[in-house]
Amino acid sequence: MTPEEKKWMLIAGLVGAGALGLVAFFLTRPKAVPSPTTAAPAAPVKVGIEGQMIELASRQLGVPREGLTVRGLSPSDLGLTSYNFNLVSGSNTIVNTTIADSRFIAITGITYTGTVASSMTVQAGGRMVEAYPIRFIAELEGHTWHDTTPTIIQQNWPVTITVQATGNATELIALDGIVVEKKGMVLA
């Protein structure tokens, strides 16, 4: 059985076991995926995901921390105009882009109130880095789930996000996240 098959079997079991099983799964997975072209950080910064992103961006771009901006993730960072998607039953590619040069992102949460989306996968740098069983999010108070160990998606990485749906509908799947980039890249 491949690692990907094992991961999907684990996800299926956790969905059946309930939200407590999901929390345990997301707390035990890796915090960052090393770049396919660069080495992993020698020593992670212990100030949370934002600090890790700033440290990585500073090192890769050769820019001091003061030369970087931290902001919230917007649809345009993923090549989108909104987070509304026309889903059809089966597999739906909702994002297929490359992260801009000098930009680093992390998806830190998902807001979902719909009924047909069942799961979402994120591929970055040529491999699957996240698998979210999003069907349960609509049942949460506030309809938002927060990832306690988000993956950093680095500059120039190709990113594909796919949603599995059980029917046809236009649904809002809002992605919360953090962006670290060189100052002056995006006008506020």
pLDDT of residue 187: 45
Quote the pLDDT of residue 138. Answer: 76
Q: For residue 97, what are the contacts with CB-CB under 8 A and spacing of at least 6?
A: 78, 79, 158, 159
pLDDT of residue 44: 39
pLDDT at 135: 80
What's the CATH number for 3-182?
2.60.120
pLDDT at 40: 47
The pTM for the full model equals 0.72
Q: Chunked in runs of 10, what are the mean pLDDT values of the chain (188 residues)?
A: 65 52 45 50 57 93 92 95 96 96 92 90 91 83 81 93 95 93 72
Contacts of 159 (CB under 8 A, 6+ apart): 78, 95, 96, 97, 98, 99, 122, 123, 124, 153
Nearest to 63 by CA among 151, 165, 185: 185
Degrees, nearest 5: CA angle 70-74-76: 115
Give CA–CA dist 170/114, Å, rounded: 9
How high is the pLDDT of residue 13?
56
